[in-house]
Copies of this chain bind each other. A is one copy, B any other.
Amino acid sequence: MAIRVGIVGASGYSGSVLAAILASHPEVEVVFATSDKRGGESVAEVLHPTGSALRGLRFVPNASALELAAQVEAVFLATSAEVSVELAPKILEATSARVIDLSGAFRLRDLGEYTKYYRFEHPRADLLPGAHYGIPELFGAPPAGARLVANPGCYATAALLGTAPLVAAGLVEPDHVLIDAKSGVTGAGRQAKEDYSFCEVAGDLRAYKVLAHQHTPEIALGLERYGKRGTVTFVPHLLPIRRGILTTSYLRPKPGVTREQLHACLRDTYANAPFVRVTEPGRVGIKGVAGTNLTYLGVESNGEVAVVLAAIDNLVKGAAGQAVQNLNLAFGLPETTGLESLVRFAP
């Protein structure tokens, strides 16, 4: 019996990659997909013309989401934090469906951080402690009782996979976690803004939200969730490519800690993780992961400073792929189900 799911916001970048993955997922039936922009159009035609799973499905308005949620076992919210923070509680209360939220609405615990970084007053403090922060390689499967999964941010996923094990193992100083991150433009979502126009972005590189990005507290909390809170410095940059994130993290090794120990820590942490590869720093690149749910990690150190490189596809491991991984685990499937056949973009 296939798992019946729905997608809210299926025509944005994350939502459409999610729909494309689910269309080929052998254990999932997509029951509905919402999009105000594409209302009435064929989902298959827009999102996955080579697959057969979505044949017959048409986009419905976002306003139908709550009613349709009663027909499914899981709802993916590929919506903004402002939308998710309102919609998720309603679904949780009105239906028995699990909610996998791709926005930041339930990733933090401190209401003040919502005010500061997301610029809204979070109305549901009661839901934050129970939301499962879903990086499976670090935090395992969503517990049976956790109906709300906060699917992690793209930057936070890459940064935490690379640094959390080293911080938690006490190999590096927790109060100096510095992350220089670079992301493709799909990270900004589907937008009609001059700043994201081809002519402005092509050939350019710039930093944005310097020391003020909303993933900063998410990374700090992720370190704490994994065992040891750290002081996080985070600067993101906009790359002139469509997809992919590379994070370059700078850590301070404790005295005597070698590059080999750091490498071994990462290698051992992810020994059984099907989507993580620990390799040489020079082999950690966006092209090697684009289009897949993979994470590539590499570490270098000179004793004073350790550098950890992490590469993911922001729309797959950083959003839709990890959401499917969480669905698989929540429903007792192998975590790779439906995610193995993704083929690298390269060449």
Contact = CB atoms under 8 A, between A and B. Distances in A.
Interface of A: 13, 16-17, 20-21, 24, 48-52, 178, 180, 182, 185-186, 190-194, 196-208, 210-211, 231, 233, 235, 237, 239-244, 246, 248, 250, 275, 277, 281-282, 284-287, 290-294, 300-302, 304-305, 307, 309, 311, 315, 336, 339-347
A194 B194 contact: no
A87 to B, nearest CB: 23
Nearest to A305: B233
Given A50-B339, A204-B287, A210 B20 contact: no
Number of copies of this protein chain within its complex: 4
A244 to B, nearest CB: 7
B242 A347 contact: yes
> Chain A's interface: helix, strand, loop or mixed, by majority?
loop
A282 B204 CA distance: 12
B343 A207 contact: no
Nearest to A180: B180
Contact of A16 (B235, B242, B347): B347
Nearest to A283: B206
A199 B185 CA distance: 7
Given A50-B275, A211-B302, A231-B304, A206 B294 contact: no
Contact of A191 (B197, B239, B246): B197
27 contacts: A13-B199, A20-B344, A49-B294, A51-B341, A52-B336, A182-B205, A182-B237, A186-B347, A190-B194, A190-B347, A192-B197, A193-B197, A196-B199, A203-B203, A203-B242, A203-B286, A204-B287, A205-B246, A205-B286, A207-B307, A210-B300, A211-B301, A233-B304, A233-B307, A235-B248, A237-B246, A341-B341
